[in-house]
Amino acid sequence: MNPEATNLLFLILEWMAALFIFAIGLGVLTIIILYIVDKTQTQKTILHNYPVIGRFRYLFEHLGEFFRQYFFAMDREELPFNRAERSWVYRAAKNLDNTTAFGSTYDLYSAGSILFVNCPFPTLQEDAVPTSSCTIGPHCEKPYTTDSIFNISGMSYGAISKPAVLALSNGARMAGCWMNTGEGGLSPYHLEGGADLVFQIGTAKYGVRDTHANLSDDKLREIAAHPQVKMIEIKLSQGAKPGKGGLLPGEKITEEISKIRGIPPGHDSVSPNRHPDINSVEDLLDMIERIRKVTGLPCGFKTVVGAYGWLENTFDAALQRGIESAPDFITIDSADGGTGAAPQSLMDYVGLPIRESLPLVVDMLTQRGLKERVKVIASGKMINPGGVAWALCMGADFVVSARGFMFAIGCIQALQCNKNTCPTGITTHNKKLQQGLNPKLKAVRAANYVKNMNYGVGLIAHSCGVKEPRQLRRYHARRVTYTGQSIPLNELYPDASDENSANRAA
């Protein structure tokens, strides 16, 4: 080796040694500073008693949820959605093969498991018929007729991003289903997709409020003037946070969102915990009638069921007024519904789950002869065909999902919805994080999800011996009890409309 090369090599080694020593020194200095900071602070006991190394506790606590999701949790263990449920949606959205091998990981013996009753002579493919259409609001000036059984639940522009709204609205148009705007008002991106829309009126009345935050008839007419808006939904409560209004952090209130909602930018958007102008069932019926007359559109309400005497009073009052005054539809949300931000005490403990509330409301309507008049929309963790088919068996006319469609366009259940840091760009307004969400591609995936959902529900219906999903009844499914034995749903929830027809499943 020549002298020049040797000198260069030694020079490089000297620099590497100097950098190594500098790095060690910097590391030691950092540890000393952190030690002093941790030892002198008094807010965190762990850090005070175990300076520096105590910080690993908080790091591991944060990383734990990600390691559990990818390495340690079994396919059916996680909440709110397990890996098996998410994987079905991902494959359906990508239009991939959704068959499995060797056996099911679904627990057929656990109490609460739903089993569908297959028929000895299932429906042949050539005998199957398209899903029948259903009309909502027959007494309205502009009733809404659709054959879509699976639709997009309310997600506001603000709670989800611009590319997410574009992906979902375009996907809904491609799939022929409707999309609920959520309580944040009607954005240009809802309209741009060209899908049928359900406009939701939240407790703050964003998008249809006057300068005093009261409901404005003029604003209602502006909304109804859009031919894509097919129905109006009054949001009374939401499954994840019954008794509390919507919450959108100020960091997600951009200039555009503030304009659409009619609120200042940069400030937390906190809706009242109920509509100040709806104080009774009579007020609710008056509000429904007002909106229906002003817009000409079907009008109903969304609620999570807890106390239910008021529902009976609502239906009785509607009958006294005349059947045309009844709500055109009711959206029943489940206590295990989702949201971007909610107090854990409400999310964990308040409200009835959909498995209890759906049959309760359907039976109230049936007993009063209102089931055909008032359409029932079920909402809450039904993201796979089994859940949708169960809801149809129990008497739902439609099923809506929000989180299922979030999975379809890329959600990984990172649990960052209440922050502006969603890694998939769905619930953030950070432009850098939104760059990976391609609305055109994700619209196709949303449409694929609907197509494969309808196909999956159809498979279950045909196996049960009916020609199309809307013909599913309670006697077509059973629920496993705590003894490990199953019981027909029509025995668990007797329905007069079934007329003891369990034998039809034989």
CATH number at residue 445: 3.20.20.70
For residues 104 and 184, give the distance between their C-alpha atoms in angstroms, rounded to a whole number.
Answer: 41
Is residue 437 over pLDDT 70? yes
Q: What is the pLDDT of residue 446?
A: 97
Q: Tell which of 27, 54, 72 closes a domain.
A: 72
Residues 31 and 180 placed together within one structural domain of the fold: no
Is residue 340 over pLDDT 70? no
What is the DSSP track for 182-225? Answer: -TT---HHHHHTT-EEEEEE-TT-TTSB-TTS-B-HHHHHHHHT
Nearest to 239 by CA among 376, 342, 363: 342
Is residue 229 over pLDDT 50? yes
Domains held by the chain: number = 2
Which of 4-8, 22-26, 58-62, 430-434 has the weakest average pLDDT?
58-62
Residues 304 and 365 placed together within one structural domain of the fold: yes
Residues 175 and 50 placed together within one structural domain of the fold: no
Please state, for a pLDDT cut of 90, what percent of the chain lies above it: 56
Q: What is the pLDDT of residue 416?
A: 78
Distances (CA, A) of 190 to 71, 76, 180, 243, 429: 38, 35, 9, 28, 16
Q: What is the pLDDT of residue 22?
A: 84
Which of 47-51, 127-131, 360-364 has the weakest average pLDDT?
47-51
Which of 91-95, 217-221, 264-268 has the weakest average pLDDT?
264-268
Q: Binning pLDDT at 50, 70 and 90, where does residue 503 land? A: very low
Per-residue pLDDT of 451-498, as tens digits, reads 999 999 999 999 999 999 999 999 999 999 998 899 999 999 986 555
Residues 279 and 173 placed together within one structural domain of the fold: yes
Nearest to 335 by CA among 390, 392, 379: 379
Max avg pLDDT among 31-45, 84-98, 173-187: 173-187
Domain that holds residue 472: 125-134+151-502
Structural domain includes residue 312: yes
Residues 169 and 61 placed together within one structural domain of the fold: no
Per-residue pLDDT of 391-425, as tens digits, reads 999 999 999 999 999 999 988 887 777 778 888 88
In terms of DSSP H, where are the helices of 211-280?
Answer: 217-224, 255-261
Is residue 48 over pLDDT 80? no
Structural domain includes residue 454: yes
Structural domain includes residue 356: yes
Per-residue pLDDT of 271-302, as tens digits, reads 888 899 999 999 999 999 999 999 999 999 99
Is residue 45 over pLDDT 70? no
Residues 261 and 407 placed together within one structural domain of the fold: yes
Which of 238-247, 439-448, 449-458 has the weakest average pLDDT?
238-247
Tokens 């049960």 found at = 464
Q: How confident is the prediction for the chain on average, in pLDDT?
A: 88
Q: Tell which of 30, 57, 72 closes a domain.
A: 72
Secondary structure of residue 355 in the 3-state scheme? helix
Is residue 222 over pLDDT 60? yes
Which of 45-49, 144-148, 324-328 has the weakest average pLDDT?
45-49
Structural domain includes residue 144: no
